[in-house]
């Protein structure tokens, strides 16, 4: 990926410095990074804000001299933990990119099982070095999180713009339901589909409900998420606790809520 030759960006007439950024992956599908390069309509404008020095999905050059590190994926091996600590030491700002980095993501589903059993079932007698999947914050300080599976590329561009010009980044405090209503969608419960929209952090523009698919909570809990009411809604709609737990566990963001349900502490 060649650095764009577009003129430097200005904010209120003042030239803005282009920070060096790196996109780095741990255990993941790398779909969040692909979201960045797939955004062809605004990719050049996005690149004009930053100087990309490390991005395996898009370039062969590689440098460890960067200001901002976007790290995708969960930590599942000791060498990944060491790699993450090195990235943390190099970066002025470390960003957890996507649900795997923020919560453990789909990878953390294996944590529900005995790991030796998982290895045998998946890999047979072949040796595989893997441990439980953990989010980045279990090992290093994370400065900023970008939620989603995959991330919403428009949201990333907005956040990066704020980082470059020195503005604070604020995630929505309200749930996906508010975006869903604003988009004039039919409630998925009226269509017989379970949905975690009432308790999941907004910011995706109700991406899944827009396509008639119930929310699975990939962005984690909204502020003041009412789990008691969520459980009541699921029960009234004929869905069991196991159905609720199945959704809550999918991406790892609702782990505490699941633990409370299983312990009978959610009334």
> Is 171 part of a structural domain of the chain?
no
Do residues 143 and 194 share a domain? no
Domain containing 44 — which CATH number? 3.40.50.700
Q: Note down the domain range covering 85.
A: 10-165
**For the chain, how many residues are written?**
267
**Which tens digit of pLDDT belongs to each residue from 55-71?**
998 889 999 999 999 99
Instruction: Tell me what pLDDT residue 6 has.
Output: 42
Q: Are residues 51 and 153 in the same domain?
A: yes
Does residue 5 belong to any structural domain of this protein?
Answer: no
Same domain, 116 and 74: yes
Instruction: Please report whether residue 3 resides in a domain.
Output: no
Q: Which residue, of 165, 193, 208, is where some domain finishes?
A: 165
Of 106, 141, 165, the residue that ends a domain is: 165
| 123-139: average pLDDT | 93
Say if residue 196 is in the same domain as residue 144. no
Last residue of a domain, one of 116, 145, 165: 165
Residue 199 confidence (pLDDT): 97
Q: State mean pLDDT over 101-111.
A: 96
Q: Are 156 and 75 found together in one domain?
A: yes
Shared domain for 141 and 180, answered yes or no, is no
* Same domain as 147, residue 31: yes
Mark whether 194 and 76 lie in a shared domain. no
* DSSP labels, the chain: -PPP-PPPPEETTEE----EEEEEESBS--HHHHHHHH-TTTHHHHHTT-EEEEETTT-S-B-S--SEEEEESBB-SHHHHHHHHHHHHH-SEEEEESHHHHH-TGGGGGGGS-HHHHHHHHHTTS-------B-GGGTS--SEEE-BTTB-HHHHHHHHHHHHHTPPP----SBHHHHHHHTTPPPGGGGT----TTTBB--S-SHHHHTT-----TT-BPTT--HHHHHHHHHHTT--HHHHHHHHHSSSTTHHHHHHHHTT---
Tell me, yes or no, whether 55 lies in a domain.
yes
pLDDT surpasses 90 at 221: yes
Looking at residue 31, what is its pLDDT?
Answer: 93
Confidence band, pLDDT 50/70/90 cuts, at residue 15: low
pTM score over 0.75: yes
| Structural domain count, the chain | 2
The angle formed by the CA atoms of residues 219, 224 and 229, to the nearest 5 degrees, is: 95
């Amino acid at each position: 990926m060649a650095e764009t030759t577009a003129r430097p960006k200005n904010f209120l007439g003042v030239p803005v410095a282009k920070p060096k950024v790196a996109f780095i992956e741990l255990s993941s599908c790398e779909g969040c990074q692909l979201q960045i390069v797939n955004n062809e309509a605004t990719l050049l404008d996005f690149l004009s804000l930053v100087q990309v020095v490390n991005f395996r999905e898009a370039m062969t050059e590689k440098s460890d001299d960067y200001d901002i590190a976007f790290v995708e994926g969960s930590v599942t091996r000791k060498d990944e933990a060491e790699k993450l600590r090195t990235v943390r030491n190099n970066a002025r700002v470390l960003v957890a990119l996507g649900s795997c980095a923020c919560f453990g993501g789909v990878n953390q589903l294996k944590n529900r099982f005995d790991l030796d059993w998982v290895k045998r079932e998946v890999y047979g007698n072949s040796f595989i070095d893997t441990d439980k999947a953990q989010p980045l914050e279990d090992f290093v300080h994370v400065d900023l999180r970008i939620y989603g599976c995959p991330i919403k590329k428009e949201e990333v561009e907005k956040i990066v713009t704020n980082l470059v010009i020195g503005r604070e980044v604020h995630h929505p405090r309200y749930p996906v339901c508010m975006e869903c209503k604003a988009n004039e969608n039919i409630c998925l419960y009226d269509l017989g589909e379970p949905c975690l929209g009432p308790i999941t952090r907004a910011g995706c523009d109700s991406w899944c409900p827009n396509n008639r698919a119930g929310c699975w909570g990939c962005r984690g809990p909204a502020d003041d998420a009412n789990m008691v009411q969520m459980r009541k809604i699921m029960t009234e709609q004929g869905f069991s606790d196991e159905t609720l737990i199945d959704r809550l566990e999918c991406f790892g963001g609702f782990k505490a809520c699941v633990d409370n349900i299983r312990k009978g502490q959610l009334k």
